[in-house]
Structure 1
Amino acid sequence: MDWTQLKTAVGLMSAVVTGAIAQVLGGWDMWLQALVLFVVLDYITGLMAAAIEKKLRSEVGFRGVMKKVFIFCLVAVAFQADMLLGTEIIRVAVIGFYLGTEGLSILENAGRAGLPLPEALRNALIQVKGSGKKVGA
């Protein structure tokens, strides 16, 4: 197998796996895209804040990754619940809740790094998180 064939095979496999994961999570819509972005940014900003504080520890990082995986497991469960009930609200509520949680964590990480926190963004994230709770209640 030459380099071009290997790149094609890896690209194809990546597309299949990514597509399957997106399908289990309810599709690659704006909600899931935002959640993936927030989860990745929270992890990166957490690493940066820990490095600045000189508190970088691999076991804490591993626990963080496991929590992120659980978020996506809950999104998959919420999507299946929507499918069973014939609704489209449970998945959005779960994602909205975690968007708010992850967003507030990003702001917390910025604060740990010594950055001033924009109050308008903090308030918006609290609203997103709160609306997820109300919708899911």
Structure 2
Amino acid sequence: MNNFGFNLFSDTFGAVVTYTLGEWSEIISLFLMAITVEYVTGIAASMKEQQGSISQVGFWRLARKGLMLLVIMLAHRMDILLDTDLMMTGAIYFYLANEFISITENYGRLGLPLPVFLKQMIQVLRSKGEGL
């Protein structure tokens, strides 16, 4: 790829990301890192447990991640409309908490040691979530 093509691609990609997510922040970086770690640990746990085909499990995990990003993009556009910074930040924190819980569950599925209090917290969160 020549220099012009690379610059055009990177400029276009940057413009799309800025339009959909706004100014880049550390919370966006943390969220993208968390969804990557959750995806990798989830695939590894599914491989260990031999749950269906890896391509099918991977597709649904990616679809879920894509839908989360769509909600965050919509929340950003709502923030612009309402002239706030609350919607997108709230959506990211909500999904970030879910990703951290899922990462912890995946670690447990992989047989990695987890502190007892973390296991108990996950059980409490699951039981509260079922009541909603």
Instruction: Assess same fold via TM > 0.5.
Output: yes
Q: Deviations over 1:72-110 (max 9, x none)?
A: 100111011111111111110000001100111111110
* Residue 99 of structure 1: aligned partner: 96
Q: Deviations over 1:59-82 (max 9, x none)?
A: 221111111001110011101111
- Aligned to 1:78, which of 71, 75, 78? 75
Identical-pair percentage: 30
Q: Determine if contact 1:104/1:122 at 8 Å carries over to the other structure.
A: no
Q: Determine if contact 2:76/2:88 at 8 Å carries over to the other structure.
A: yes
Check if 1:46 corresponds to 2:37: no
Q: Please say which of residues 12-21 and 97-106 is displaced more in the overlay.
A: 12-21
* Residue 9 of structure 2: aligned partner: 13
Describe the SS at the equivalent of 2:2: helix
Quote the Cα distance in structure 2 between the aligned partners of 1:51 and 1:41.
15
Q: Please say which of residues 91-100 and 47-56 is displaced more in the overlay.
A: 47-56
Q: CA deviation at 1:18?
A: 3.9
Q: Deviations over 1:100-136 (max 9, x none)?
A: 00111111110000012246778999xxxx9xxxxxx
Quote the Cα distance in structure 2 between the aligned partners of 1:122 and 1:85.
40
Q: What does residue range 25-36 of structure 1 map to in structure 2 within 5 Å?
A: 25-36=21-32
Say what the alpha-carbon RMSD is for the aligned residues: 2.7
Quote the Cα distance in structure 2 between the aligned partners of 1:72 and 1:15.
21
Structure 1: state its 5+ residue gaps. Answer: 131-137
Structure 2: state its 5+ residue gaps. Answer: 126-132
**How many residues are paired up?**
122
Q: Determine if contact 2:71/2:91 at 8 Å carries over to the other structure.
A: yes
TM-score for the superposition, normalised by structure 1: 0.75
Letter in 1 for 2:70: C
